[in-house]
Each structure stands twice: as structure tokens, then as C-alpha cells.
Homo-oligomer: A and B are copies of this chain.
């Protein structure tokens, strides 16, 4: 029984394993939390047993770090691009909303983990994630400042966080509405909410 049943890598696509692990881990972290999920759980979810993960990540925290870094990078660069390409602030805001809603609807687990587990990321990476998050928020605040001049930035920042809360509620109300309708509802609610930040 020693090393007899080994298992089949069977010509897997390059790096697909890492991605598969990250995806499984995201789902588990979202459902049970970082500390509530064991390495064995994650391994099990991808069909290998526990320690196999160390062939792909240096540890559990590193795995989380990579996951969150990737999310905050995607959010931020997507936002930056959209804003740059928009003809005016009005369209920029629409584009930001679209980006966040698309992401939240298609990756609910990542969204959940992203705003729950930052505290478990070890220091070198944590700072960078925070930085990207801050930049992402500032992307919104900048657009909103242009749209509602005269509204103090702290208020816009608070409003932005509130809208994130609204948009990221998706994982909690999963299944109530189909994605199309949900996207429309969220967009419309968010726009209306933001319009109230100016007063």
C-alpha cells in the first residue's frame, strides 16, 4: 500500500492546477472562512490529498495572498482602463458600475473572501493589496468628484463604500433573481444612491 496508487496528472493544461486550486479555495474560504478551512479540505476539493498543495503554493497564507492580490489587481486595472476610455464622467461611472457588478455576479466567492479575509494575509502582500484597494476606491472618488463637485471627498468615499456594500450583497441574496434582472436592479439602485451623495 506504499505509494502504489499514485494518481494521474494526465497531461493537464499548464498552470491549470494552480487556478483550479485557487478556485476551490475561494469557494471554501467564502463558505467556511480561512481558519475554518483546512489544507486537507482544499486538497480534497481538487481531488488530491492535503500536502499536494505545497507543490503549487508555499503555504495556506500564500495561497490567500495570491488570491486577494489577483482580485484587487483585476478590479483596479479594469477600473482604471474603463475610466480612461470613457468620454466623460457620466460614462466613466457607468463603466465602473458595470465592472463591479459583472465581477460581483460572476465571482461571488472571490468578492466575499476579498472583503473578509484581508486580515489573514501576511504583511508583505497585505500592504500591496490595501494599496490596490485604495487606488480602486480613489478611481471611484475621482469620477464622483467630477460628477458632483462641491461634495467633500470623505463623503464621496463613504458613499462609495456604501455602494460597494450594496453591490456586493449579491452573495447574500443569491438565487432570488436571475443574473440579468439582478444586474439591472443593482445598477439602478446604485446610481440612485450615489446621486444622493451630492446633497
List residues of chain B with CB within 8 A of the CB of A181. 155
Minimum CB distance partner of A164 in chain B? B169
Q: Would you give the 0/1 interface string for A3-26, flagging 1 where the beta carbon is closer than 8 Å to chain B?
A: 000000000000000000000000
List residues of chain B with CB within 8 A of the CB of A195. 192
- Expressed in whole angstroms, the minimum distance between the Cβ of A96 and any Cβ of chain B is 16
Q: Decide: A176 near B161, CB < 8 A? Known: A35-B33, A36-B120, A116-B116.
A: yes
Segment among A43-51, A74-82, A182-190 that sits at the interface with chain B: A182-190
List residues of chain B with CB within 8 A of the CB of A168. 165
Q: Is A84 an interface residue (CB 8 A)?
A: no
User: What CA separation (Å) do A155 and B164 show in the bound complex?
Assistant: 19
Q: Are A193 and B189 in contact (CB under 8 A)?
A: yes
How many copies altogether?
Answer: 2
List residues of chain B with CB within 8 A of the CB of A36. 33-35, 119-120
Q: Would you give the 0/1 interface string for A166-199, flagging 1 where the beta carbon is closer than 8 Å to chain B?
A: 1111001100110001100110111111111101
What's the tally of chain A residues with a CB closer than 8 Å to chain B?
43
Q: Decide: A193 near B176, CB < 8 A? Known: A158-B185, A199-B188.
A: no
Q: Decide: A165 near B161, CB < 8 A? Known: A154-B177, A181-B155.
A: no
Q: Is A162 an interface residue (CB 8 A)?
A: yes
- Expressed in whole angstroms, the minimum distance between the Cβ of A105 and any Cβ of chain B is 12
Q: Decide: A176 near B163, CB < 8 A? Known: A35-B36, A189-B196.
A: no
**A positions within 8 Å CB-CB of B:** 31-36, 115-116, 119-120, 154-155, 157-159, 161-169, 172-173, 176-177, 181-182, 185-186, 188-197, 199
